[in-house]
Structure 1
């Protein structure tokens, strides 16, 4: 990953109405040390983050990402982020991204143990090349997430539905998928319903209808999926949410994993069962997702 920029933020309260927040930012060397050993984000993964795709210096879907950051903060009982401050930080970082595809990450940590809180920073880096995934497609396996569909409602302390820094399970799932000869995974509940991928949202197509699992089971509401649904509906398609049984995945006419940086990656096999690959529609999706979107 080629780092392009890093910015430490001195968070201001959510009710701070100042319009100029430039004095709350400090540009730092992205390769230099920046966090203390007592930082809870590194000690416990106690914090939240967002990844924003940037195309030719234009940050995509900033408002949707900021709203999701605020949503994650509420779930995790973190101080409410001042969205005007974070918005300014995103635009400042985007100015350093240049041509091509980049990724801006927003990180809000609970702070330092027994010390100042919270800690916040923004990074910008060159995005990986996802051409192969977007054109040739990906193979996925289904993995048991270890809880039933109703657990998020019964156990909100599990923080399901928040984009937290605690990504050890997600990364372990990707390693397991690769050990099985696949590129990615799709989580399912222990009672057999589809959730999401470790770092992406699932969309399945049945005829002219596009569906994604309903975000009421601890699923992270996908910003790219929301934008793509608007595009599909504008093209005359039907798009919506549903409780999807894992057993029904094999009947899909097409399927994709979508995310802010990889964009739309067509699924060509689920658990070694081939899935139809709509090459033309996938190309149209990615052309749209690479266009400037606010």
Structure 2
């Protein structure tokens, strides 16, 4: 659950670093700047100032994260979040039994108010993450990633009308693929999927090997 009334509301962006360069830096900045404007937050750095600070001392491979909180912007870096073994194994998912409100607009932003309780419950049950549904039963996303599924030659993903983050990799896949349908989908449709995968900026695309019922 996101606390939209939290006085310490902040924003963050997490980018993959490859060959000591942040991937899709411009796209992340555009989303960050839009989020700041929409939520009434002030970023103390311009694009060029942030870029200059973010591109110093980057690891060869890993991640870059910048966070805006209480009008202060902090930058951190680290090693890759996902290993070759993770991609070889793929993800196991379950469904959260806590509905995601369709009226809470903060799900569309990368805020510091994320609550990973449901993800922790899924992990304790042996899964990697959980899929959130709306009160009406429509698929949204997991706690850390957008979701795609393929049936035949058509790729499907929840619409931005759902309470989901407009992911950078999500947008890139929609631009690249010819047959993509964005819409409202009930959980049962995943049973007919020929392929399911998750996307975020650090994993790129992660195959889903298994989807189980409610935790």
User: Which bin holds the TM-score, normalised by the shorter protein?
Assistant: 0.7 to 0.9
Indicate which of 63, 67, 78 corresponds to 2:30. 67
**What is the alpha-carbon distance in structure 2 between the residues aligned to residue 142 and residue 260 of structure 1?**
22
Find out whether 1:257 has 2:204 as its counterpart.
no
Indicate which of 152, 165, 174 corresponds to 1:220. 165
Indicate which of 66, 73, 85 corresponds to 1:106. 66
Q: Which runs of 5+ in 1 are unaligned?
A: 1-42, 112-117, 273-294
List aligned pairs for 1:193-272, cutoff 5 A. 193-231=138-176, 233=177, 237-271=178-212
List aligned pairs for 1:136-175, cutoff 5 A. 136-149=89-102, 151-152=103-104, 156=105, 159-167=106-114, 169=115, 171-175=116-120
Find out whether 1:48 has 2:48 as its counterpart.
no
**TM-score scaled by length of structure 2:** 0.87
Max Rg structure = 1
Find out whether 1:130 has 2:83 as its counterpart.
yes
How many residue pairs end up in the alignment? Answer: 208
Find out whether 1:90 has 2:35 as its counterpart.
no
Change (3 A) 1:102 1:185: same
Give 3-state SS (helix, strand or coil) of 1:271's partner. Answer: strand
CA positional deviation for 1:146 = 2.6
1:181 maps to: 126
CA positional deviation for 1:91 = 4.6
**What is the alpha-carbon distance in structure 2 between the residues aligned to residue 143 and residue 87 of structure 1?**
40
Name the structure where strand makes up a greater proportion of residues. Answer: 2
**What is the alpha-carbon distance in structure 2 between the residues aligned to residue 147 and residue 200 of structure 1?**
15
**What is the alpha-carbon distance in structure 2 between the residues aligned to residue 225 and residue 102 of structure 1?**
20
1:58 maps to: 21
User: RCO greater where, 1 or 2, for CA within 8 Å and sep 6 or more?
Assistant: 2
**TM-score scaled by length of structure 1:** 0.65
Q: Which runs of 5+ in 2 are unaligned?
A: 1-5
Give 3-state SS (helix, strand or coil) of 1:229's partner. Answer: helix
Give 3-state SS (helix, strand or coil) of 1:64's partner. Answer: helix
Change (3 A) 1:128 1:147: closer
**What is the alpha-carbon distance in structure 2 between the residues aligned to residue 209 and residue 92 of structure 1?**
41
2:100–2:163 CA contact under 8 A, matched in 1: no
1:90–1:104 CA contact under 8 A, matched in 2: no
Once superposed, what is the RMSD of the aligned Cα atoms?
A: 2.2
2:168–2:201 CA contact under 8 A, matched in 1: yes
